[in-house]
């Protein structure tokens, strides 16, 4: 298998941050906004669990968090490819800041509908932000820097999950839930300031005919046809949907329930939930960084590492299943996250190396749509199962068994696929 020539001699993380001002500003903005994201998730999950005492209600919150980005994904992908990506990121951050402050209005059970509405608005804006941030990465870093930039961005997500979830749980458990929402709004404003300092020379010219709704729809369908014409890219883009179904909202709902029923630490279990999310952050950050020492951004090795990641996810679930002690549960969550982080980061890296820039935004938006749709489906299933009094250990063991299916399919695909090369822009014309 081949990779872009620059990816074999990628630079280090410190050199990337020192030498690339544009990436440095994007990275600083990511650090700040992600801190607020996890404050918001801990606070909103704790708030709705306290107000409703319903597993289905908590599941519905995660359902909304997944469905909102899915519904905007067709528009988001076209926007990321047609308009200035920096501007899209800034506008999304400003919108999310305004929405975060509105969470302060939710005070009693009769206002749960408002919490769902605000969650939909904020995550809908995130549906524009995240694919655009992925798509802009090759616009501001060189091919030699791309592997380090992707791994560092993913590790930052994980570190901020650990720090943000732990701090969010601490703030919610000691000072109350509402300060977390206020902090969330401030972080989006600061993120917008850093992104505004990015300078990119990649221009997107749209003629008058290209500004119509019909033209936007046509461009979206071009992305769909691309996935149909390149089954390898489709297969890679489906990895995150597996995580959405079996490891994202589905397991997060289980974590909320564990801290509420089994290990209640802090107000509404918020401290315990924060510690669980912290372990997820540590694992999902360390996994890709450690594995990348062996893969060296080579396509074949990245693909094999994804298979190993699925194996670690299964092992982690099996450790959690008995729910013997809180410490053992945290260990299982860590192992699961080590594998899940590898699957997430390396599937992104493969797309960055193989997909041409002119269609990159739509592919990442489609990938995010698959992820959110399957995450919504997982939230419905797990929330309903909890309300049907199905045991937590049975649910976790079921997730472990189901994870073996995509692992087997990926192993079969790898056994039949020997070469993957980057797709050139000329081949699309």
Ramachandran region of residue 296, left (φ > 0), alpha (ψ -120 to 50) or beta? Answer: left
Any domain includes 47:
yes
What does the alpha-carbon distance between residue 147 and residue 138 come to, in Å, rounded to a whole number? 10
What tens digit of pLDDT does each residue of 363-418 get? Answer: 887 888 888 888 878 878 888 888 888 889 999 999 999 999 999 999 998 888 76
Concatenating the DSSP letter of every residue in 382-412 gives HHHHHHTT--HHHHHHHHHHHHHHHHHHHHH
1 falls within a domain: no
Q: CA-CA distance, 104 to 39, in Å (whole number)?
A: 13
Q: What's the structural domain count of the chain?
A: 1
Query: Which of 138-142, 191-195, 224-228, 367-371 reaches the highest mean pLDDT?
Result: 191-195
Alpha-carbon distance of 73 to 27, in angstroms, equals: 23
Q: Is the pLDDT of residue 7 over 60?
A: no
* DSSP 3-state of 389: coil
How many whole angstroms separate alpha carbon 134 and alpha carbon 126?
12
Residue 18: CATH number of its domain: 1.20.1250.20
Task: Give how far Cα 371 sits from Cα of 236, 241, 366, Å.
Answer: 12, 4, 9
User: Which pLDDT score, from 0 to 100, does residue 3 have?
Assistant: 40
Residue 207, domain member (yes or no):
no
* pLDDT single digits (tens) 271-302: 787 788 788 888 988 898 889 888 877 888 99
Q: Which residues contact 142 (CB under 8 A, 6 or more apart)?
A: 6
Asked if residue 6 lies in contact with residue 142, where contact means CB atoms within 8 angstroms, the answer is yes
Domain annotation covers residue 205: no
102 three-class SS: helix
204 within domain boundaries: no
Q: Does residue 5 sit within a domain?
A: no
For the cut 90, the answer to whether the pLDDT of residue 332 exceeds it is: yes
Whole-angstrom Cα distance, residue 59 to residue 280?
Answer: 19
pLDDT confidence of residue 297: 78
Report the C-alpha gap between 91 and 88 in whole angstroms: 5
| Contact predicate 201/39, CB 8 Å | no
Of 139, 140, 137, 132, nearest to 150 by C-alpha is: 137
Please tell me the pTM assigned to this model: 0.73
The string of pLDDT tens digits covering residues 161-202 is 667 766 776 776 677 778 878 888 898 999 999 999 998 766
Distances (CA, A) of 248 to 280, 373, 399: 10, 11, 11
For residue 149, what are its two tokens? 């930039």
Q: What is the mean pLDDT of residues 216-220?
A: 70
Is residue 36 situated within a structural domain? yes
4 located within any domain: no
Encoding tokens for residue 407? 């692992």
Range(s) of the domain holding residue 52: 12-197+219-424
Residue the block writes with tokens 């935004």: 361
E-strand spans in 47-178? none
Q: How far apart are CA 98 and CA 403, in angstroms?
A: 38
pLDDT of residue 268: 64
On the question of pLDDT at 56 being above 50, the answer is: yes
Q: Could you tell me the CA-to-CA distances from 115 to 78, 121, 188, 268 in Å, in that order?
A: 29, 10, 18, 17
* pLDDT tens string 98-123: 998 998 888 888 888 898 999 999 98
């Amino acid at each position: 298998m081949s990779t872009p020539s620059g990816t074999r001699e990628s630079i280090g993380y410190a050199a990337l941050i020192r030498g690339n001002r544009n990436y440095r500003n994007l990275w600083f903005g990511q650090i700040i906004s992600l801190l607020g994201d996890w404050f918001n998730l801990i606070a909103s999950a704790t708030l709705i669990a306290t107000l409703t005492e319903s597993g289905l209600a908590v599941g519905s919150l995660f359902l909304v968090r997944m469905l909102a980005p899915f519904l905007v994904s067709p528009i988001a992908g076209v926007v990321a490819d047609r308009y200035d990506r920096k501007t899209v990121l800034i506008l999304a951050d400003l919108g999310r800041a305004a929405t975060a402050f509105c969470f302060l209005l939710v005070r009693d059970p009769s206002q749960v509908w408002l919490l769902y509405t605000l969650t939909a608005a904020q995550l809908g804006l995130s549906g524009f932000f995240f694919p655009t941030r992925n798509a802009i990465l090759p616009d501001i870093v060189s091919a030699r820097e791309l592997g380090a930039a992707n791994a560092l961005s993913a590790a930052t997500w994980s570190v901020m999950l650990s720090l943000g979830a732990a701090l969010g749980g601490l703030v919610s458990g000691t000072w109350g839930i509402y300060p977390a929402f206020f902090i969330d709004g401030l972080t989006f404003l600061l993120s917008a300031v850093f992104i505004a300092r990015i300078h990119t020379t990649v221009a997107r010219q749209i003629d008058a005919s290209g500004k119509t709704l019909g033209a936007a729809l046509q461009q979206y369908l071009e992305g769909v046809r691309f996935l149909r014409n390149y089954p390898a890219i489709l297969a890679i883009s489906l990895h995150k949907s597996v995580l959405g179904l079996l490891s994202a909202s589905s397991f997060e709902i289980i974590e909320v329930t564990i801290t509420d029923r089994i290990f209640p630490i802090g107000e509404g279990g918020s401290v315990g939930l924060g510690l669980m999310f912290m372990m997820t952050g540590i694992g999902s950050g360390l996994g890709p960084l450690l594995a990348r020492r062996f893969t060296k951004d080579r396509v074949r090795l990245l693909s094999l590492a994804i298979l190993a990641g699925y194996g670690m996810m299964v092992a982690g679930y099996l450790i959690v299943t008995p729910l013997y002690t809180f410490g053992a549960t945290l260990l299982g969550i860590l192992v699961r996250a080590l594998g899940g982080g590898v699957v997430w980061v390396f599937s992104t890296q493969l797309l960055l190396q193989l997909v041409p820039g002119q269609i990159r935004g739509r592919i990442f938006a489609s990938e995010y749509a698959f992820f959110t749709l399957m995450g919504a489906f997982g939230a419905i299933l797990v929330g309903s199962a909890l309300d049907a009094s199905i045991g937590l250990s049975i649910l976790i063991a079921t997730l472990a068994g189901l994870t073996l299916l995509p692992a087997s399919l990926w192993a079969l695909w790898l056994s039949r696929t020997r070469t993957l090369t980057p797709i050139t822009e000329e081949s699309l014309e």
